[in-house]
């Protein structure tokens, strides 16, 4: 999810999980040692040897991958690394790898520490929500799996040493699931960005909803950009949206609705933002389509927030034109866009790369969302492509072609082993938008 979002901002990224290598070794040797909690006993010499072998294969693959790339990357070595001696071994190994210019690999450690009763609750919740659904315990009775993993933690504790500044290596220590942080000697731009990301991360389960604005007048006319009103069908979708969200969410939900500053998103949210008294904190619709009877599905009025950062990609001199008109008036630029849609920047406007940087504060706010918060983003196609790509780990080549249709609500539920996606399509026709066939996002 988030770390793989480094691909979203221009760095190739990949996770190397030692546990996956360990499980492969176990599969290849079905008569080998059972990998229950006793396998992680630091005084079990044969198990230590096997775990070291798995880690070494993982480290070598990481280096090969990094050296195969022609530009900067982020490789995540995912393992426990519980002792200072082990961390020094890793630091020396990876910093001994140099690129073609003689620059060593930069290394930073991340440690999560929990303390007291709060920490015990965090550990139990983490085991229940993450470990019991992970590959180590597939098909295992939940109670048996819980006992085994808690016993595994005790094995780690026999030799565990928390990170200290005297180790002389860069690290970030996340304390009590983000209540406090210790950042020591971050080196360079990427390590600083990772520290910033961790400071905004909320590990509790959550769901994020998003939808494009209802069909707009410019959509009907095939024009890009602009600040047009909704079409009649767009207003019908706006009126239907409260009912859709009311069927998805319970009435006690404290809903936040985030829109851009453009009128078509605010109009789309206007019915959904109404309180039980029928008062909308946003722009009230000037036209109520025939048959539209929006209802207030929640006990309290949702909070409506307009973000300038969520405005649609700026198409510059091409704003208000159709794609056919762009191809005719600016043939060279149209061809350049077709050749590299992510980095192509409209004359006087933005590229997708620019847009990703612009909406990063919104992404960080979404990462901060907790289990008690529910957010619905009413946005634009290019912006929602960026949001979806962040949580699904899509890179630059795929991002500009992700399909986000009109009159559809999409739910993202980030989890430890992926991001679950659900969608609800509203039976109100709308035009197809975009100049190329897109990739369906769910």
Residues acting as catalytic residues:
78, 213, 312
Token readout for 189 is 């731009």
Closest to 423 measured CA to CA, from 442, 407, 404:
442
Return the bridge partners of 216, or none: 230
Residue whose tokens read 């095939």: 222
Cα distance between residue 2 and residue 174, in whole Å: 16
Contact 380, 362 (CB under 8 A): no
């Amino acid at each position: 999810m988030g770390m793989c979002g480094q691909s979203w901002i221009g760095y190739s990224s990949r996770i190397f999980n030692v546990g996956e290598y360990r499980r492969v070794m176990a599969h290849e040797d079905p008569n080998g040692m059972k990998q229950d909690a006793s396998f992680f006993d630091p005084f079990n010499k044969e198990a230590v040897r096997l775990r070291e072998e798995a880690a070494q294969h993982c480290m070598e693959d990481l280096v090969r991958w990094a050296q195969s790339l022609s530009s900067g990357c982020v490789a995540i070595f995912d393992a426990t690394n519980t002792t200072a001696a082990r961390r020094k071994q890793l630091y020396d190994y990876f910093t001994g790898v140099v690129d073609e210019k003689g620059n060593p690999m930069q290394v930073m450690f991340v440690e999560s520490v929990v303390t007291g009763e709060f920490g015990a609750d965090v550990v139990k919740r983490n085991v229940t929500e993450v470990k019991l659904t992970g590959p180590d315990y597939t098909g295992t009775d939940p109670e048996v799996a819980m006992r085994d993993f808690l016993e595994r933690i005790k094995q780690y504790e026999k030799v565990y040493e928390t990170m200290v500044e005297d180790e002389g290596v860069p690290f970030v220590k996340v304390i009590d699931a983000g209540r406090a942080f210790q950042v020591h000697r971050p080196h360079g731009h990427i390590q600083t960005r990772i520290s910033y990301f961790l400071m905004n991360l909320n590990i509790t389960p959550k769901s994020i909803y998003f939808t494009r604005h209802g069909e707009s007048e410019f959509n009907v006319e095939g024009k890009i950009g602009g600040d047009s009103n909704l079409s009649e069908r767009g207003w019908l979708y706006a009126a239907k949206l409260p009912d859709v969200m009311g069927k998805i969410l319970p009435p006690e939900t404290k809903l936040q609705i985030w829109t851009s500053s453009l009128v078509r998103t605010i109009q789309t949210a206007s019915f959904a933002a109404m309180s039980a008294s029928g008062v909308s904190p946003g722009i009230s619709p000037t036209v109520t389509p025939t048959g539209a009877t929006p209802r207030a599905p929640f006990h309290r009025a949702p909070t409506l927030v307009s973000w300038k950062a969520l405005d649609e990609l700026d198409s510059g001199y091409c704003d208000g034109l159709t794609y056919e008109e762009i191809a005719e008036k600016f043939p060279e630029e149209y061809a350049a866009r077709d050749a590299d849609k992510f980095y192509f920047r409209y004359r006087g406007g933005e590229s997708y790369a620019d847009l990703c940087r612009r909406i990063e504060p919104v992404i960080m706010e979404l990462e901060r969302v907790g289990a008690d918060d529910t957010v619905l983003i009413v946005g634009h196609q290019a912006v929602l492509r960026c949001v979806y790509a962040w949580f699904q780990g899509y890179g630059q080549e795929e991002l500009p072609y992700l399909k986000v249709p009109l009159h559809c609500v999409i739910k993202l539920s980030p989890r430890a082993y992926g991001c679950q996606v659900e969608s609800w399509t509203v039976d109100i026709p709308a035009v197809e938008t975009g100049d190329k066939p897109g990739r369906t996002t769910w």
